[in-house]
Chains A and B, each alone.
Chain A
């Protein structure tokens, strides 16, 4: 079990939604909340910093600064007072990815509020993933979808940027539209993939696979052990000696 019960001499006070609890100093906010007695339903997901379920804001006494973090990734600090924001209302435009164009018109049509950005940088300061949110929004306003996609790639869609934006922009949904436009329309398609799909559909590998499926385990083991392994350091132009099953 994740929470080990032993005699603790390492407790520090934290304030969960204003209420004081003493929790182990080495715990993340998430584990500290469980230790304090919360059973998490909202505000807990992958517990590994990638799903965006556990966006949390906190402050310290005497400081004006609003701090942010993912509860599963942020270690508690004495006297922090915090609340989770497990959900924040957001705009999500519905579009047909087959019919949209990778251009600024698409972004503005679906998210006209994009142009209301005040460039206050609060979104960037609110991002627990250290993403340059304002910069990707600026890229979007310029119609630079490539930059928008690249800068927003690590986004976990926790919504903290959206919760604080004075221009009421939903940055992370603009970002995923941008990334999908980039992935679908701007980056060149993988030709080797398209031609492999054709080969498979033509049944090129059908006979050799059916043969493998009917092979006894001993023969399979021999075939497996005899596989020619592509060297790790091999370049993109490497080809195997045996081409009979390609």
Chain B
């Protein structure tokens, strides 16, 4: 739907201030960045993570007592989808060296390096291969690649500053030092990075970066990386993929090592035992849990399954008390609600503005700070832009980019978003976009180390399901980097483990029985099941009429 006449009136205020703002940019004058202290004040007052009652204690499991979002706690305090007594672990349907759970960026990168290291690989994924948040990442991938102005040293400082200095140093070190290698690896696989004539990669700023190191493939960087990795995996016969086959439980062995997973065929509703010498969890994040009823940029399958699986098997969780709200999700038109508007627009210089067309924050603060300032402007200052559906938004002034970088820049550099909004009758090279913070990234997750090892031998963790590398807040462009770097590491180390592993043991689901017992002992009586697998967008009226339908969790 195009902008309403009310909104078109308000856009005139943005247009009125635009020439002066462009002039300022040209002179190199920026809206001042907040000090570390001021950042903290804004976060504590306005960030959804800090809101009273937004965190509750987990009452069971290895991180008992840790306070995180209630939506995730409800999944951790749920029962398994299966009764362990009904699963015959001697009936092995699939046998492989390495089972990778999740077919996104991290899982596919892991599959490639595992195969290169001689392992037989099976990817089990909930939807299609490549259906993942990686596909949806737009803006870019960070790496210090230009030695005359940047180095991993500065990348490291930026990562830590963004993460409130809480990041696990060894993980952040691995991320920034492996970054150039990951980029070269992608280039060699044929990823179409946006380059200059001589092959030099174009790079932009992201929120919280001190050097321009955001490399990109137009505004569909994640899709370009994902489709390339997927194509490469399909070229290697040693990598098998099971689609529409999520894992619902990890299987351990009598020695406490990981020995596979129970898989569920979403279409035929059968459960299968997959036996493996090593397992890599690469299931991604959890925006589809709609924390605090926020909208999300995430993929349909982002329901936090891997955290549930790992936690039940005995892994601790960390940094899950913070969730990343991306400042710029579409809030109008309603049909496109929650869809991500890449930070690259702000990296390219587009201002963010209130109802009067005034700047109220520098457009390149780290994401959590930027989001807090948007929420403040709408709630406390009350200068948000009202939408027809009764929500509030902030202007993101994309037409500025045309004025600064020449006509046609928006269409050329942001083809994905240009086409998308054009379909709704909005020309973002001429009209600003209306945005509001939206759930974007699971900063925390399962505890792991820089070799992607977890506390359970034979179980590896990689990508968004894991926690620590980004501390309390991830910077733009470090998630695509994360899945490439730690995907590759997980695949390589799992393959080495497979070669060296000698003893095999009897498979068991006793950890599930123990978990159920712990729930009972904590007085948690529930018929909730987890992992959730798919979010619930069904129509309650329809459900009322489904008199003979039986739901286990959200799935019929």
Task: Provide the B527-543 mask, 1 if CB < 8 A to any CB of A, else 0.
Answer: 00000001011111110
Alpha-carbon gap, A225 to B149, bound state (A): 18
Is B340 close to A, CB under 8 A? yes
From known contacts A46-B131, A73-B420, infer whether A233 and B28 are also in contact, taking CB-CB under 8 Å: yes
| Interface 9-residue window, one of A29-37, A55-63, A116-124 | A29-37
Task: Determine whether the beta carbon of B127 is less than 8 Å from that of A221.
Answer: no
Q: Tell whether, in the assembled complex, residue A205 and residue B152 are in contact, meaning their CB atoms are under 8 Å apart.
A: yes
* Bound-complex Cα distance A31 to B267 (A): 21
Partner pick for B199 among A190, A224, A230, A236, CB 8 A cutoff: A190
Q: Mark A25-53, 1 if CB is under 8 A from B, else 0.
A: 01110010011110111101111111101
Interface stretch of the complex, out of A12-20, A77-85, A153-161: A153-161
Decide yes or no whether B344 CB sits under 8 A from chain A. Answer: no
Stretch in contact with the other chain, from B54-62, B63-71, B223-231, B475-483? B223-231
Question: Is A97 an interface residue when CB atoms closer than 8 A count as contact?
Answer: yes
Known: A47-B299, A130-B419. A239 touches B136 (CB 8 A): no
Bound CA span A217–B419, Å: 45
What number of A-B contacts does a CB cutoff of 8 Å give?
A: 256
Known: A209-B153, A212-B157, A213-B170. A157 touches B234 (CB 8 A): no
Query: Which B336-358 residues have C-beta < 8 A from chain A?
Result: 336, 339-340, 349
Stretch of B94-102, B139-147, B250-258, B368-376 that contacts chain A: B139-147
Q: Tell me the chain B residues, 159-213 only, with Cβ under 8 Å from chain A.
A: 160-161, 165, 169-170, 173, 176-177, 180-181, 183-184, 187-193, 195-201, 205, 210-212
Contact A239 B423 (CB under 8 A): no
Q: Tell me, yes or no, whether A112 is within 8 Å of chain B by CB.
A: no
Residues of B in contact (CB 8 Å), total 100
* B189:A232 contact, CB within 8 angstroms: no
A56 to chain B, nearest CB (A): 14
A9 within 8 A of B: no
B150 beta carbon closer than 8 Å to chain A:
yes
The answer to whether the Cβ of A113 comes within 8 Å of any Cβ in the partner chain is no
Chain B residues in 8 Å Cβ range of A11: none
- A136 CB within 8 Å of chain B: no
A41's contact among B150, B157, B181, B244, by CB below 8 Å, is which?
A: B244
CB <8 Å contact, B190 and A183: yes
Q: Which chain B residues border A236 with CB–CB below 8 Å?
A: 196, 200
Please determine whether B187 and A45 come into contact, CB atoms closer than 8 angstroms. Answer: no
The answer on a CB contact under 8 Å between B36 and A225 is yes
In B448-500, which residues have CB < 8 Å from any A CB? none
With both beta carbons as reference points, the residue of chain B lying nearest to A172 in the complex is identified as B227
Instruction: For B195, list chain A residues within 8 Å (CB).
Output: 187-188, 190
Give the distance in Å from the alpha carbon of A195 to the alpha carbon of B144 in the complex. Answer: 11
Interface: B522 (CB within 8 A): no
Query: Whole-angstrom distance from the CB of B409 to the nearest CB of chain A?
Result: 14
In the assembled complex, how far is the CB of residue B463 from the closest CB belonging to chain A, in whole angstroms?
A: 16
In which size bucket is the chain A interface?
A: 35 or more
Q: Which residues of B contact A233 (CB under 8 A)?
A: 25-26, 28, 349
* Shortest beta-carbon distance from B169 to chain A in Å: 4
Q: In the assembly, what is the distance between CA of A78 and CA of B358, in Å?
A: 41
**CB-based contact B30/A232 at 8 Å:** yes
B151 at the interface (CB under 8 A from A): yes
Contacts of B300 in A (CB 8 A): 40, 44-47
Contacts of B212 in A (CB 8 A): 230, 234
Known contacts: A190-B199, A223-B157. The answer to whether A184 contacts B188 by CB under 8 A is yes
Nearest CB on B from A188, distance (A):
3
A212 touches B200 (CB 8 A): no
Asked whether, in the complex, the Cβ of A35 is within 8 Å of the Cβ of B193, the reply is no
CA distance A2 to B28 in the complex (A): 42
With A153-B415, A180-B228, A200-B181 as contacts: A224 and B161 at CB distance below 8 Å: yes
B513 interfacial contact with A, CB 8 Å: no
Query: CB < 8 Å: which of B180, B220, B423 contacts A200?
Result: B180
B91 in the interface (beta carbon within 8 A) = no
- Inter-chain CA distance A236–B25, complex, in Å, is 17
20 new A-B pairs (CB below 8 Å) besides A46-B135, A190-B199, A205-B153? A34-B537, A53-B128, A75-B424, A92-B234, A95-B235, A96-B235, A97-B190, A97-B232, A153-B192, A180-B189, A200-B180, A209-B152, A209-B156, A213-B170, A220-B160, A221-B165, A227-B157, A233-B349, A236-B196, A246-B149
Instruction: Show 12 residue pairs from A and B whose CB-CB distance is below 8 angstroms, ordered by the A residue.
Output: A1-B290, A1-B537, A42-B244, A47-B300, A49-B339, A194-B184, A196-B180, A200-B180, A205-B152, A205-B177, A208-B153, A224-B36
Which residues of B are interface residues toward A (Cβ below 8 A)? 1, 25-26, 28, 30, 35-36, 127-128, 130-131, 135-136, 143-154, 156-158, 160-161, 165, 169-170, 173, 176-177, 180-181, 183-184, 187-193, 195-201, 205, 210-212, 218, 220, 223, 227-228, 231-232, 234-235, 237, 244, 266-267, 290, 293, 297, 299-300, 334-336, 339-340, 349, 364, 415-416, 419-420, 423-424, 534, 536-542, 546, 555-556
Residues of chain A having any CB pair with chain B under 8 Å: 1-3, 5, 26-28, 31, 34-37, 39-42, 44-51, 53, 73-75, 92, 94-97, 129-130, 149, 153-154, 156-157, 176-177, 179-185, 187-197, 199-201, 205, 208-209, 212-213, 217, 220-221, 223-225, 227-234, 236, 238-240, 245-246
